[in-house]
Amino acid sequence: MPDVPSSSSFIPKRTQGTKVYQKRTKSFFLLSIVSYACLIAAPTASAAVYVYQLYTERQFDQIVTELDEAIGGFSEAEMARVLEFDNRLRQATILVNNHVSVARVFDILETQSASNIGFTGLSLKRNGDASVAVEAEIIAPNFDTALFQRGVYMREDNPIDVASLSDITFVPPNEQGVGERVTMSGSFAFSQESIAFTVTDTVPAATANDLETPDADSSDTTIESTEASGAVSDETL
| Residue placing its CB nearer to another protein in the complex, 153 or 190 | 190
CB of 54 to another protein, least distance (A): 10
CB of 56 to another protein, least distance (A): 5
- H/E element, 169: strand 162-171
Opening angle at CA 191, ends 190 and 194, nearest 5 = 85
**Is the CB of 46 or the CB of 164 nearer to another protein?**
46
Dist CA 135 CA 133 (whole Å): 7
C-beta of 156: minimal distance to another protein in Å?
A: 23
Residue 86 to residue 21: CA distance in whole angstroms = 93
Phi/psi of residue 196, nearest 5 degrees: -65, 140
H-helix or E-strand spanning residue 59 = helix 16-72
Query: Of the two residues 4 and 205, which places its CB atom closer to another protein in the complex?
Result: 205
Q: Are 169 and 183 in contact (CB under 8 A)?
A: yes
How many Å apart are CA 50 and CA 33, to the nearest integer? 26
Adjacent-strand bridge partners of 118: 139
CB of 33 to another protein, least distance (A): 11
Beta carbon of residue 36, minimum distance to another protein (angstroms, whole number): 7
The residues near 210 (Cβ < 8 Å, ≥ 6 apart) are 203
Phi-psi region of 162 (alpha: psi -120 to 50; beta: other; left: phi over 0): beta
- In this complex, which beta carbon is closest to another protein, that of residue 1 or of residue 77? 77
Nearest approach, Cβ of residue 71 and another protein (Å)? 6
Cβ distance to another protein smaller for residue 6 or 209: 209
